[in-house]
A and B are shown apart, each in its own frame.
Chain A
């Protein structure tokens, strides 16, 4: 794990977020410093320690699969940037 390894542009692509040249340069330096600091976790002996995902002692909460009231189509479409025919409009994702 080399702290110089983070390729900010590559990771931004994974996150589906464009960055300007300037942002890339600034983030590269700042994230290298942060990752350098985070290296200290390598010093901790974690042999045989279980991970903790969250602190609530409840897991796999299930409910009855029954119908119940939900937000209406109108309620949800009100926030949509573009809609038509009662649906959210998006750019074409499948070529004919």
Chain B
């Protein structure tokens, strides 16, 4: 069996037994990357990874496992472009993000820079300024986004596992569209130090993997408090693989009635319903719940996320790193033209919107109000978790979109985030697990993901439900 198609847990057994070496895995991946037309990678450095592989400790939990890294996470000495012209060929990371340091401490080898929507803004990876990624299941369709490269690489067997970042669904949605597992941990579970900030109160790093167990293994390595990120929580990090297959007997799972309305594609709905029946047969009690402020989530999100983005992206001014225009008239001209030249349309659009909602006279009407609605959305979830252990929903109302589908209609694209963004607004944990595929008009099989949402710091039971859903899918 080719090494590039296997799970972390399977590779770890062979590495521990001495049957294979980390270099064998890297060679297998590199060979498949060179043959692949998916475009998941922005770059990879095989020599560098192989050199690192000579000194990894194979007794560590991820010893010898290559992990692809979304190109908005700093890996010392490597470019970190955020798929933006602003940083392309103009920035190399001078340090390791905390998650990279932790991966290395666990024996993993960061390998490859995954394509993404520019600065993680988008849901199709088409906003990348540096390359096109297609959906491995249908060349006419997008992989989802913004962690589209991270998802497509695992799905196309050019990565074993990857890291992504999720600000409004950017791990879960591409995982759903590509048919892999994608985990967005609770806000504060993982340090964001070294992740290029998009919306700091919403961003969270997480793994995209072939199995729920693999997601737990990567989470084990990267979770935990970090003094360099004051929002990371001083919480114990349990072994997330423990009890994974204990089943869901007696657990209560909630179906939010607001998530099963008219907007959802009937074939997607059918896959979700089928899996919910299976979870019920596996011993879980299924109850209807209500998240009454759901209809305000998209509006709240696009105020908070763009406001934070406009502030975070002000650092890209052409002074200390990144793009700088030639012969500026003065420093203002340098800022204005360096930014105009370096940013793509979606980034500009969001900076304008975010600057507007924070501007004098509009702050209370937009930003302050959105922060209050955020409190209500968060309260909806706290109320729900008094009644249920986890919430079940689709990840996206539809399967993967055609490339270019909503190119000129950003609002239409934003509305498709409806099932994923509330988890970021409320800071809770969420995961996408494959639950079947639907047939497109052209006969391709498009994966559908089931979303499971758990309370803040509830990853252990979240992963257990995810494992149960995975078993249903495999049976």
Q: Which residues of A contact B (CB under 8 A)?
A: 1, 6, 8, 11-12, 14-20, 23, 26-27, 30-31, 33-35, 37-38, 40-42, 44, 46, 49-58, 61, 63, 71, 75-76, 78-82, 88, 90-93
Contact = CB atoms under 8 A, between A and B. Distances in A.
B250 interface: no
B385 interface: no
Contacts of A53: 201, 371
Contacts of A34: 302, 353, 410-411, 414
Interface of B: 90-92, 94-95, 187-188, 200-201, 227, 230-233, 293, 295-296, 298-300, 302-303, 310, 314, 317-324, 328-337, 339-340, 343, 345, 348-349, 351-353, 355-356, 359, 362, 365-366, 368-376, 378, 408-411, 414, 426-428, 456
User: Chain A's interface: helix, strand, loop or mixed, by majority?
Assistant: loop
A91 B328 contact: yes
B115 to A, nearest CB: 22
Given A20-B340, A56-B427, A75-B94, 9 more contacts: A1-B365, A8-B352, A16-B336, A16-B339, A17-B352, A49-B375, A55-B456, A56-B231, A93-B330
A62 to B, nearest CB: 9
Contact of B335 (A1, A16, A20): A16
A52 B378 contact: yes
Contacts of B320: 76, 79-80, 88
A29 to B, nearest CB: 9
Given A15-B352, A58-B233, A79-B321, A51 B368 contact: yes
30 contacts: A1-B366, A11-B355, A11-B356, A11-B359, A14-B355, A16-B314, A16-B336, A17-B352, A18-B336, A27-B352, A30-B410, A31-B352, A33-B411, A34-B410, A34-B414, A35-B353, A38-B299, A38-B303, A41-B366, A41-B370, A52-B371, A54-B201, A56-B232, A58-B230, A71-B94, A79-B91, A81-B321, A88-B320, A91-B330, A91-B334
A50 B94 contact: no
B187 A55 contact: yes
B102 to A, nearest CB: 18
Contacts of B349: 27, 30-31
A79 B348 contact: no
A61 to B, nearest CB: 4
Given A52-B374, A54-B231, A81 B426 contact: no
A81 B359 CA distance: 30
